[in-house]
Structure 1
Amino acid sequence: MFKYIHIIIFLLTHDLTELKKYWEVEFIKKEFKWSRLLNKLCKSDNTYMVWYRLAYFMFRSESNKQKRVAVKINRKLNRRYSIDIPLQAEIGIGFDMWHPIGVVITEKAKIGNRLRIGSNVVIGFKNYDMDGSIKIGDDVTIGANSMIFGQNIKIGNNITIGAMSFINKDIPDNCTVYTEKSNIIKNKAH
């Protein structure tokens, strides 16, 4: 109950222009109206993006109480959806997860607009004792069960990463990248 009071205070005392734009693009998919947001919240099983973006913006507020509530909201989301996306990660507008389960994104991620990812995607940072980040540009699609892992990697704009890919190097703009796979089937001798 206590957290809802701080959510209401946040919604009543802050300029919500940017938050509403994120909700419009990532959840409602139509022009923002409070009635549309509430209607979709009541009908949708997947409300992750609404709550994540609320926590994301609350975490960036000046109030320590609202930051603590944001962390609580995010922890609950992480448990419910088996996701680990810290509020410190910078993720631009248009973030879309096809099946929001098993996604892990490092707090050192700086992600542009319109990131689309499948389930079980990991964007990980190799050594937290070192400075840096993993930078991902605009209009990037990452297929299911893929991993981006390393130190100070830069993924360009307009990139498609195929499912089950492992990325540990920079990728320039306008590329399709995948990890080659081979299926070996051996018959057991009786």
Structure 2
Amino acid sequence: MNYELSRENNYEFFKSCVHEELIGLHTTFSWNRVIRRLITVPRKRYLFGWRLASYFFTSGGKREIKFAHWYNRRISRKYNVEIQLGAIIGPGMKISHQNGIVISRLCRIGRNFHIHQNTTIGAKIDKTGFIDIGDNVTIGAHCCLIGLNMTIGNNVTIGAGTFLNKDLPDNSTCYIRREYIIITEQ
């Protein structure tokens, strides 16, 4: 995954993300289709809003960055999803339920990322380092991924309710085993 975006390919990256996430790759891209999809499918509005804010944030310029921060705060409050500006997320991101999702600016995430509600991906201390997440990763509900210089491989599934602070290799599944013991008195 290319983590560095120049100003020239920033627009093309924004357009490819909008194409894949809003209208799908099976259809040709047009801005009219994007607007129709935003009107008819309200759950896609946050993705478009964050992609737009991220586009302005990476475009440079004081006004663009100031607008990006303002717009990101606005959509974060409205949709209860906080993906910080500076996070790099590849095309194909899918949010199942827009409730309580937090993604740090230190994240670099690959293509086809699927995340469920009440999930946090971040660092305990905001220092240098990144949280690298590969392609085709699914994170279940109520998960917490905390750490710096953490790497999650490609084709990984993280089960619901998992706390993770270690690296995961490619093609793996991670979940927390919980046992409930019920004792009834007779």
**What is the TM-score of this pair, normalised by structure 2?**
0.88
- 2:181 is paired with a residue whose SS is coil
The alpha-carbon deviation at position 186 of structure 1 amounts to 4.2
Query: Cα RMSD over matched residues?
Result: 1.8
Which 5+ residue runs of structure 1 have no aligned equivalent? 1-13
Tell whether the 8 Å contact from 2:10 to 2:58 is kept in structure 1 after alignment. no
The alpha-carbon deviation at position 91 of structure 1 amounts to 1.1
Tell me the distance in 2 between the aligned counterparts of 1:146 and 1:115: 14
Match of 1:17 among 9, 12, 21: 12
User: Quick one: structure 1 residues 157 and 65, their matched pair in 2 at CA, closer, same or farther if it must change by over 3 Å?
Assistant: same
Query: 1:135-181 deviations in whole A, cap 9, x for unaligned?
Result: 11111110111111122211111101111111111101110111111
- 1:60 is paired with a residue whose SS is helix
Could you tell me which residue of structure 1 aligns to residue 58 of structure 2?
60
Number of residue equivalences: 175
Matched, 1:26 2:21: yes
User: Quick one: structure 1 residues 123 and 15, their matched pair in 2 at CA, closer, same or farther if it must change by over 3 Å?
Assistant: closer
- The residue type paired with residue 135 of structure 1 is D
- The residue type paired with residue 42 of structure 1 is I
* Within-5 A mapping of 1:10-159: 16-29=11-24, 30-46=27-43, 47-128=45-126, 130-159=127-156
The alpha-carbon deviation at position 15 of structure 1 amounts to 7.3
The alpha-carbon deviation at position 132 of structure 1 amounts to 0.9
The alpha-carbon deviation at position 31 of structure 1 amounts to 2.5
Query: 1:31-83 deviations in whole A, cap 9, x for unaligned?
Result: 21111111111112221111110111111112211111111111011101112
Could you tell me which residue of structure 1 aligns to residue 3 of structure 2?
none
- The residue type paired with residue 15 of structure 2 is K
- The residue type paired with residue 64 of structure 2 is Q
Tell whether the 8 Å contact from 2:131 to 2:148 is kept in structure 1 after alignment. yes
Tell me the distance in 2 between the aligned counterparts of 1:23 and 1:31: 12
- 1:84 is paired with a residue whose SS is strand
Q: Alignment identity in percent?
A: 38
Could you tell me which residue of structure 1 aligns to residue 179 of structure 2?
182
Structure whose CA Rg is larger:
1
Moved over 2 A (4+): 14-18, 183-187
Could you tell me which residue of structure 2 aligns to residue 165 of structure 1?
162
